[in-house]
Amino acid sequence: MATQPADALKKVPLLAGLSDRELQRLAGQLHERKFPAGSTVVSEGATGTGFFVITEGEAEVEIGGQVRGKLGPGDYFGEMALIDEGIRSATITAVTDLTCYGMTPWEFKPFVDEHPEVAWTLLQNMTRRLREAQSD
């Protein structure tokens, strides 16, 4: 059985601490996207315009031409693109047919504007991630 959008969002650390109600609202902004096996979902160095949560299939993560990992159901990528639309740090390629739920920054920003309580949770989680990255 396929993962529902709100259930998929519960696994994203950036969104940790959001209530079930907030996650349901945010899930309403997600769109299902399908990528055939072998297709490039996002490309390293390209401008990031979306966030994806994988619900079915497997993808490969490549950085600097080297495979660095695999992603599967419950994994996500592009969450920082929701905020800064910066360049992609990796290429993500569908190894099998891939089903994801996705969202763009122009869909995410109005959600945060309408639900400002979410912004504080996002800031806390981003700060925590930054501290963890700096301590590595």
- Tens of pLDDT along 98-129? 999 998 888 888 888 888 877 888 788 778 87
Residue 29: which CATH number? 2.60.120.10
β-bridge partners, 69: 61
* Residue 71 maps to a domain: yes
Asked whether residue 76 is domain-assigned, the answer is: yes
Would you call 102 helix, strand, or coil by DSSP? strand
- On whether residue 15 sits in a domain, the answer given is yes
Q: Tell me the pLDDT band of 93, cut-offs 50, 70 and 90.
A: very high
Domain membership flag for residue 136: no
> What pLDDT sits at residue 3?
66
Is 50 a domain residue? yes
Q: Specify the 3-state DSSP secondary structure of 121.
A: helix
Q: In this structure, is residue 111 part of a structural domain?
A: yes
Identify whether the C-beta of residue 41 lies closer than 8 Å to the C-beta of residue 52. yes
Please indicate, yes or no, if residue 135 is contained in any of the structural domains: no
Domain range holding 31? 5-130
- Structural domain count of the chain: 1
